[in-house]
Structure 1
Amino acid sequence: MIIKIGWKNIWRKKSRSLIVILSVAFGVWIGLFFGAFQWGTYVQKLNDIVNREIGHVQIHHPLFLEEEYDYNFPIKDPEHVKHVLQADSTIKSIVERVVFSAMIQTTKEQSPVLVVGVDTTKERKMHSISTLITQGEMPHDKRAPTLLIGEVLANELGVKLGDKVLIQGGMLHGMKSFVGRVRGFYESPNKLKDKLIIYIHKSDINKKLGDAFTHEFAITFHEYDSLKSYSALLQKKLPHQQIYTWGQIVPEVENGIKMTDKVMFVFMFIIWTALALGIVNTMLMSVLERTKELGVLMAIGMGKWKITQMIFIETFILTAIGVPIGIFLTMLTVGYWGDVGIDLSVANAAVADFGYSTMIYPVVKQSFYFQVIIQVILVSFISTIFPVIRALKLEPIKAINKL
């Protein structure tokens, strides 16, 4: 009976009820879509970080990062480290590298760089540097040392494919240098990286410098969610090495993600506040317009609990209609933009400087549907409390005689 009365009441003023339904639908849609955009941004950032060779976790000599990538702090007993890692079933991929800071010089220009010695075959399992090559190809160990350098650095140095450059750095026995030939250029979303990092085959570095060093193990796991526990377990297995998660290596990215979470909270608070005010206003108007009717219902014996039920049921019906509409809109928009992507090229310069891709693909976590729906229902019912209190304060005689 109460449900039937509530259903009829909401359609007395169709336009007002439609406004509430559309408000709920919009709240659900904007909440889910913004959440999908945020999660898509997070996933894209993480992929960028993992795919640009950092990996989920890195292993270094305890002083290596502190000494700013000093060649003289390699990992001790890398074969033992490799054996421990290969025995761990949670690990998806392992790559080992020679990494050190140096200077790259031409006859006219020079620039500080980070030399990364890689095994090109193994590197393909972790990151996509080969897909970023604009000219030439990856370095290999079949000839004299060959280099892959960023387009930004190449322009600054004024070098072309086939040109020779000098690499010089501080080694165990003083300054050492070797000549390499530019074999290819790459361009990534990260302009800072393009200017700083050059790639050489790991075996070429070992031949030229006379060492068999490994400065870095980069690791990815099958499951990302348990990253902290995995890294803590690795630290116990390798107490003489230092284990770093990607958040420790690039804290600015992790801080950026946390800031995005805060922005999301503020944005959702604004959306839910606007939705709450809309529901309060609509339901309060509905109560005020039915003052005489409510007075009659009270006079013939309808208790306060029944009045409360009736108003809450009206809100529930409006919400129950609006939520599926909002979910449907989300599925359409996220489905489309999730495939096509949202191009942030308008802000390309700023975004690229931070090393992020300019294409974002919104993704909605299944749990987020549940969270937003629960939030909308809570906001709707909390917003109904004030109109209910206003209705319960009515005195039957005064309400009936109200013009």
Structure 2
Amino acid sequence: MILFILAFRNLFRHFRRTLTLLLTVAMGSGALFLFKGFNTGIMNQYKENTIHAKTGHGQLNTKGYMDEVYERPWQHWIKDADKIKTDLKTIPGVTHVFPRIDFYAVVTNGLLNVAAKGTGVDGTEEADFFWTINIVQGETLRAQKDGIILGVGMARALKVKPGDSLVLVSQTTAGRANAADVTVVGVYHTGNKDIDDSTFRIQRTLAADLLDTDKVEAIAIGLHDDDMWPNFAKAVKDKYPELDATPFAVIDKVYYQNAVDWLGQQFFVIQLIIIFIVTLGITNSFAFSVVERTAEIGNLRANGESAWDITALLMWEGLLIGLIGSIAGVFISYLFNVIVIPHGILMPPAPGLTRQFYVKIELLWSSALASGALGLGATLLATFIASYKRVRLPVGDALRHRS
């Protein structure tokens, strides 16, 4: 306890030096905290975009369907989708069930034909769950029986807007040509050029009529929380062994999982750089501080204090500086985020995308604790490095030292 009291008093003996050390620690801890929040914000936005614009929390297919390429894939689609949909809603945690049909068709305005990939969906049910679809013209697909929403690139190529008519031409599962008249109700912009130029969505009933099938390719799932997926997958395996349950991170590995892995590794590297800079700065500051106090250290040694006692005193000082500085850094970073950038940071288009997006910095308690602990650890390490040799100088040399 006496060492703690002495260390606390020493902080006020050289206030400017203490303030410099506190600012160094605060800036390092705050930088780690903000960057972790930025990283978390990007990863959560990727996750939300994947879940609420594309795949849901995951989807069901027939056994092995995702791993194979079939000449006639519709022969391996899911039967009795509506019955399965009703059963799946009884599984704990399931909030939404979306049978879907993916198919290819030619979209024509009478003058220009565009080959595209379509998805047949239950518009009314999907509209509320898939809320991150970026509709730039018109509205999303809901109950419009013959409605179609399409990517902004395709709409531009076909020169259509909401209210215009198009014709879809496709093949039935029996190989016969079939066509359907549709009306544009909305245009979406994902930012991914491939998707915006060649995809559209229509009602599942219309897609089933167009392909002349009563099956669905996949059943997308919406859960209360993505952490509930393992329990859901186990329930599906027990109840429907002929189906595979695939989570969204596997379905959209290129967009989501690879991005998460890359960002995680990037954060680790930048975290090491920040810790190194903080440790170096604190070591330098503490080294000057200890050199200035060499005569004081000599007096303590002459009075019978051991090198370890003096090291412990300096470590207590480092602990207090690290603790106060880390807390201050985390708190200042939080205020900066709330006051200066409450709506996030506008980012340029990511690779493969064509539109800007906002990233909101998401600060978590776990990140605050981790950033504070790293700042404190770096301070203690720097204190030990700076003081280890100086406190072991011969007493005579230490007493003769002049700052």
Distance 1:115 1:104 in 2: 10
Query: Which runs of 5 or more residues in structure 1 are unaligned?
Result: none
**C-alpha separation in 2, matches of 1:170 and 1:146:** 20
Secondary structure of 1:340's partner?
coil
> d(CA) in 1 for partners of 2:47 and 2:386?
46
CA contact under 8 A between 1:5 and 1:310: conserved in structure 2?
yes
- Aligned pairs (5 A) from 1:2-401: 2-62=3-63, 64-65=65-66, 66-67=68-69, 70-128=73-131, 132-135=135-138, 138=141, 140=143, 142=145, 145-191=146-192, 192-252=194-254, 253-336=256-339, 339-344=342-347, 347-348=348-349, 350=350, 353-354=352-353, 358-401=357-400
Q: Conserved in 2, the CA contact under 8 Å of 1:104 and 1:168?
A: yes
**Structure-2 separation of matches of 1:53 and 1:162:** 25
For residues 58-110 of structure 1, the C-alpha deviation after alignment (integer angstroms, 9 at most, x for no partner) is: 11234655448944542133245324311201212211122222332343433
Aligned residues: 397
Query: Which 10-residue stretch deviates more, 167-176 or 389-398?
Result: 167-176
Taking the aligned partners of 2:141 and 2:127, their CA distance within structure 1 comes to 11
CA contact (8 A) 1:72 1:171 kept: no
Distance in 1 (CA, whole Å) between partners of 2:246 and 2:79 is 16
Partner SS, residue 173 of structure 1: coil
Residue identity over aligned pairs, in percent, reads 21
Q: Are the structure 2 counterparts of residues 179 and 2 from structure 1 closer, same or farther at C-alpha, using a change threshold of 3 Å? A: same
Contact 2:37–2:361, Cα closer than 8 Å, also in 1: yes
Instruction: Quickly say closer, same or farther: Cα 1:129–1:103, change in 2 above 3 A.
Output: farther
Between 16-25 and 171-180, report the one with greater CA deviation. Answer: 171-180
CA contact (8 A) 1:61 1:76 kept: no
Other structure's SS at 2:216 match: coil
Q: Structure 1 residues 112 and 139 mapped into 2: Cα distance closer, same or farther (>3 Å)?
A: farther
Tell me how far 1:289 sits from its aligned partner.
1.6
Q: Deviations over 1:334-359 (max 9, x none)?
A: 22467422212xx13x46x4488701
1:156 Cα deviation from its structure 2 partner: 1.5
3-state DSSP of counterpart to 1:125: helix
Structure 1: distance between partners of 2:291 and 2:380: 18
Secondary structure at 1:213's aligned position in 2? Answer: coil
Q: CA deviation at 1:368?
A: 1.4
Instruction: Provide the TM-score with structure 1 as the length reference.
Output: 0.89
Unaligned segments of structure 2, at least 5 residues? none
Contact 2:28 2:278 in 1 (8 A): yes
Q: Deviations over 1:19-53 (max 9, x none)?
A: 21011111111111111111111111111111113
Change (3 A) 1:280 1:139: closer
